[in-house]
Amino acid sequence: MRPFLSIWTKPTKTFEYLAQRRLAGKENHLGFLIVLISYSMYLARFDEYSKPIDGSALAGFFVSFTIAPLLGLICFKYIYPYFVWKIGKIFNGKATFDEIQVVMIYSALPLLIYPVLAFIFVIPAALAGNIDLILHPPYIIAVVCWILSIRILIYGLSRFNKYTYGYAVLNVLFLGLIFETISLLIKH
Over residues 133-180, the pLDDT tens digits come to 666 666 777 788 889 889 999 999 998 998 899 999 999 999 889 888
Measured in whole angstroms, the distance separating CA 14 from the mean position of its chain's CA atoms is 17
Is 62:94 a contact under the CB 8 Å cutoff? no
DSSP output for 122-151: HHHHHHHT-THHHHS--HHHHHHHHHHHHH
pLDDT for 8 equals 79
DSSP 40: H
Is 156:175 a contact under the CB 8 Å cutoff? no
Question: Is the pLDDT reported for residue 89 higher than 60?
Answer: yes
Over residues 54-73, the pLDDT tens digits come to 666 666 667 667 777 788 78
Straight-line distance from the first to the last Cα atom of the chain, in angstroms, rounded to the nearest whole number: 47
pTM score, whole prediction: 0.80
pLDDT for 84 equals 92
**What are the domain boundaries of the chain?**
24-187
Is 60:51 a contact under the CB 8 Å cutoff? yes
- Angle at the Cα of 135 from the Cα atoms of 140 and 124, rounded to 5 degrees: 90
Residue 17: name the closest of 177, 174, 150, 155 by CA.
155
